[in-house]
Structure 1
Amino acid sequence: MLSFSYRNRIAFYYIITTALLISVVFTVIYISVKESVYRHIENDIAIEKTKLFEEISITNEGFILIDQNEWKEKEHNTLDVNPIFIQFTNTEGKMFDKSPNLKNSQLIFHKSEEGVPLYFDAKLNQILIRQSQIDITYKGKTVGYLIIAMSLEDANLVLRNLRYTLLLTFPLVLGILFLVARFIVGRSIEPVKTIIETSNKITKDNLNTRILLPDNRDELYELSDTINNLLNRIENAIKREKQFTSDASHELRTPLAIIKGTLEVLIRKPREKQEYEEKINFCISEVDRVNKLVDELLLLARFENEKQNIKSESVLLNALLLDTSARFSEKIKDKQCKINNQFEDEVYIQSDYNLVSIILSNIFSNALKYSEENSNVTVKLYNENNVVKCSITDEGIGISEEDKDKIFNAFFRSESLNHPDIKGTGLGLSIVKRLCELLSIIINIESQLNKGTTIVLSFPEEEIK
């Protein structure tokens, strides 16, 4: 099939459908006119038949025309204007009288036993005629036949002209409709051209351009709005990617620069063994920090770029929380913190054990990191309105109101300049937020500066056992 433009393709499909419809309509018109013309001729024949029955004398021997002047009427004498042909035959089909306009010709006779139709077409000297044959009976006995016919030349002329007119009109109408349809379709898809032109202007460096929405809220409006929403998501994703890349490169450069600077200072002159050990241990701690940062970056990138194949398994939250606090036993001991576990009952959820463990570990790590020495960390597990909730509360430095909206951003650390002694990458809560979105867990933060922070996890109701 030829490659058409979208506008021509729609117009073409419209014309194909219209052509079928018009052909059906023209066919119905032609058949209706033909039936009307034939019905008119048959009515004239029926009228003539009734008239002739009143003007013939029927006896047991046969029948005859009473008034011979009937043959002098114009329609029985000429062939030009509405000629009516009449023929009388006996029971054997032998003609014994006829109208003068038949001259030397005869109408076709059909034997009655052949089942003669009331009206049928025949030819008279190459002239097409409509003919009817009527039995003449006397006391239930057929004594002869009356055959009446009318010329179909005028009718065929009308039908022929109509046929030619319809055949000539058909392509003309289709051509006009094609041009009209093409024009209308062109106007209708004008917003599509706008979409194409606008889309061509959009590049990775120019993502703020948006498609102008049409006035009518139709399918094209929905398409334009959907594309605009898609562009919004792409723009936000690219902004996040640029910010993430910038922050990641900065966070990685800092410890590497520190390690490089330390090593350069170390090799400038001979030093004591203790000083070597001190600087090497410092570099090792920085390398560990870089390793942790890389691991967290890879973990966050994995969840940002693809949806994890989440496992659904039965998770006992009580045991998972106890295992999580046990992993931080050394840090708990160093800070001399007290862990208060407040569990109502054993609580099971259907979720991914490993991902939930990462969420709880990051939250627990932050709670200990920002807690003061000899403070309390309270872990609650409870059911509220058929929703399982887990809260972890510390008595640490807290989060200011202006920082609450930024706390889940990658590399953001609240009050980091005021607490240089607290080390971290600022990726923990970003990972927590992303995993909560994957697992449909609602996370809320309640915090007061210098008083502490509470993080509440609400697990999906449908996953509660």
Structure 2
Amino acid sequence: MKIKYKIALYYTLSASLMLIAFAALAYYFSSKSRRAEYLERLEYRARSIANVIIEDGHVKVDLLRKLDRTTFQDLYKETILVYNPEYDLLYSNLKDTTIRTHRSLLDYIKQNKLYSNIKNSGEQVGVYYTEGDVSVIVIVSSFDKYGFQNLQNLRQILLIELITAVAILVGVGYFFARKMMQPIDKLVQQVDKINASNMLDTQVAVKGKDEIAMLGANFNTMLQRLGNSFDLQKSFVSNASHELRTPLAAIISQLQVSLSKERTKEEYQTLLISVLEDAENLSDLSNGLLQLAQSELNQEQFVFNNIRIDELLMDMANLIRLKQKTPGKVDIQFVKVPENELLVTCFGNESLLKVLFLNLVDNACKFSPDSSAHMSIDFFTQYITVQIKNQGPVIPSGEINKVFEPFYRGENAHQTRGHGLGLSICKKIVQIHNGHITVTSTVEEGTTFTVLLPHL
């Protein structure tokens, strides 16, 4: 079932139930009011009869008979019974009818002075009336013909009104539900036209400040993010394919040339060394792509522990020596000595942090003329600060904001082996740890990468 039909249905049901409840309450209170009013009328009737027939200390039933023959009886199907305190019937307006009144009822009236009851044939009221030394029991019963007719008319009117109101509610509910769903229908139509090719060029129309407008605005933001992700993915696949193709083509071409004729032992050694370099280049690229893919994962998918950053940096010299063929020189110093080890402890993933600093130190050593890198560690109120410096070629100011993009390599990096993945991996790892990474490059100071990581 469509939402607009659900809205119309729920609106009609809730409003109808409310109207039915109001109508039932109106009928109930009207019926209760009619009954109370008629019983009060019968009580007044009984007391009036008792007051009429007691005169000068005697019960004058003849006067009541005379009044009964004239205008005294004006209630529908009225029955009047008058008893003395000894329960002798003094008067009855019923003719040719056997009268039986239970003694228990008369006892009750005499004891409680007032009795009222509702029967199928109507309402009945009995009073014990005393004037001077004379007392009588008067029982009056009657059927409220006009009151029940009014209730029946009220019931019919309420029923007709309910049927009419429900019919109107169905129409009004559908009209408003359709009106409310029009923006969503338009949004669905616009979204249906969006595909991967026109994602960045298409946006849904946003009008107003309601929840649907907020949905449209958020959807446009999501489209922008998806479009950027698709472009980044296309660029990544294109660059990765190109970078993978180059070493593979070099290996294949060298092997094909070597197989074209017999070679000397020295020529084969030279060829194998060249192929080994291309294979190592291919291995570095594969590892870089794997690390970049891992760095794209969410923080929740990594195991985080308390990591001492100073101890992690102490291992960088040994790791660089194992990674590079030529020994690199790595210096590390503390700007100030921490009084508490928590000031240099970060809540993070040890493997990712090793990749982060290893890439930065490896870059510093590769671009430094003497294959050296200088590291310093400091701490502030919230962050641990690690700086990696080298005296290599200056990064041009126009390229300083692009060095963290995947596969981007500046003009000063063309003579150095690499694929442009290391710094982009570093940025992803820093973001996973809720930190920041920046780079500055000047002739006087060299190139400095600054990493800020929150400490405990």
Is TM > 0.5 for Structure 1 vs Structure 2? yes
**Aligned position for 2:82:** 88
Please report how far the alpha carbon of residue 361 of structure 1 lies from its aligned counterpart in structure 2 after TM superposition: 0.2
**Alpha-carbon deviations, 1:396-426, whole Å to 9, x = none?**
112222212211111001115xx53211010
| 3-state SS in 1 of match to 2:402 | coil
Q: Could you tell me which of 15, 21, 40 is aligned with 2:12?
A: 15
Distance of 2:382 and 2:264 partners within structure 1: 65
| 3-state SS in 1 of match to 2:115 | coil
**Alpha-carbon deviations, 1:90-148, whole Å to 9, x = none?**
3454433345xx5545887453324676332346xxxx33322111335577x431223
C-alpha contact (below 8 Å) 1:397/1:451 kept by paired residues: no
Please report how far the alpha carbon of residue 193 of structure 1 lies from its aligned counterpart in structure 2 after TM superposition: 1.1
C-alpha contact (below 8 Å) 1:87/1:107 kept by paired residues: no
After the TM superposition, which parts of structure 1 deviate over 6 Å for at least 4 consecutive aligned residues?
330-333
Q: Which runs of 5+ in 2 are unaligned?
A: 339-343
**Aligned position for 1:186:** 178
Change (3 A) 1:108 1:411: farther
Distance of 1:305 and 1:383 partners within structure 2: 28
Please report how far the alpha carbon of residue 337 of structure 1 lies from its aligned counterpart in structure 2 after TM superposition: 5.4
**Aligned position for 2:341:** none
Please report how far the alpha carbon of residue 454 of structure 1 lies from its aligned counterpart in structure 2 after TM superposition: 0.8
C-alpha contact (below 8 Å) 1:337/1:377 kept by paired residues: yes
**Aligned position for 1:324:** 316
Distance of 1:279 and 1:205 partners within structure 2: 46
Change (3 A) 1:62 1:329: same
**Aligned position for 1:48:** 45
**Aligned position for 1:427:** 421
Distance of 1:300 and 1:232 partners within structure 2: 22
**Alpha-carbon deviations, 1:153-181, whole Å to 9, x = none?**
11111112222332343233223212211
Higher relative contact order (CA closer than 8 Å, sequence separation 6+): 2
**Aligned position for 1:129:** 122
RMSD over aligned Cα, in angstroms? 3.0
The amino acid across from 2:296 in the alignment is E
C-alpha contact (below 8 Å) 2:108/2:115 kept by paired residues: no
Aligned residue pair count: 445
The amino acid across from 1:177 in the alignment is L
| 3-state SS in 2 of match to 1:74 | coil
Q: Is 2:20 the partner of 1:26?
A: no
- Counterpart mapping for 1:61-460 below 5 A: 62=59, 64=61, 66=63, 69-74=66-71, 76=73, 85-99=79-93, 102-104=94-96, 109=101, 111-114=105-108, 118-122=115-119, 128-139=121-132, 143-208=135-200, 209-215=202-208, 217-305=209-297, 307=299, 309-329=301-321, 334=326, 339=331, 341-342=333-334, 344-345=336-337, 347-373=344-370, 377-416=373-412, 419-448=413-442, 452-460=446-454
Distance of 1:147 and 1:41 partners within structure 2: 14
Change (3 A) 1:174 1:140: farther
| 3-state SS in 1 of match to 2:227 | helix
67-76 vs 202-211, which moves further: 67-76
The amino acid across from 2:203 in the alignment is R
Distance of 1:224 and 1:295 partners within structure 2: 41
C-alpha contact (below 8 Å) 2:53/2:59 kept by paired residues: no
C-alpha contact (below 8 Å) 2:54/2:131 kept by paired residues: no
C-alpha contact (below 8 Å) 2:367/2:393 kept by paired residues: yes
Change (3 A) 1:331 1:192: closer
| 3-state SS in 2 of match to 1:27 | helix
C-alpha contact (below 8 Å) 1:398/1:451 kept by paired residues: no
Distance of 1:27 and 1:135 partners within structure 2: 37
Distance of 2:302 and 2:293 partners within structure 1: 16
Distance of 1:19 and 1:88 partners within structure 2: 51
Distance of 2:265 and 2:317 partners within structure 1: 38
31-40 vs 235-244, which moves further: 31-40
Distance of 1:63 and 1:261 partners within structure 2: 142
Change (3 A) 1:336 1:433: closer
106-115 vs 319-328, which moves further: 106-115
Distance of 1:428 and 1:22 partners within structure 2: 71
Please report how far the alpha carbon of residue 15 of structure 1 lies from its aligned counterpart in structure 2 after TM superposition: 2.7
The amino acid across from 2:394 in the alignment is G
**Alpha-carbon deviations, 1:206-227, whole Å to 9, x = none?**
3232222231x23223332333
Distance of 2:328 and 2:66 partners within structure 1: 142
Change (3 A) 1:349 1:309: same
The amino acid across from 1:30 in the alignment is Y
**Alpha-carbon deviations, 1:239-275, whole Å to 9, x = none?**
1111100000011111222222333333344444323
Distance of 2:436 and 2:86 partners within structure 1: 106
How high is the sequence identity, in percent, across the aligned residues? 23
Change (3 A) 1:271 1:53: same
Distance of 2:60 and 2:53 partners within structure 1: 6
C-alpha contact (below 8 Å) 1:57/1:66 kept by paired residues: no
- TM-score, with normalisation over the residues of structure 1? 0.85
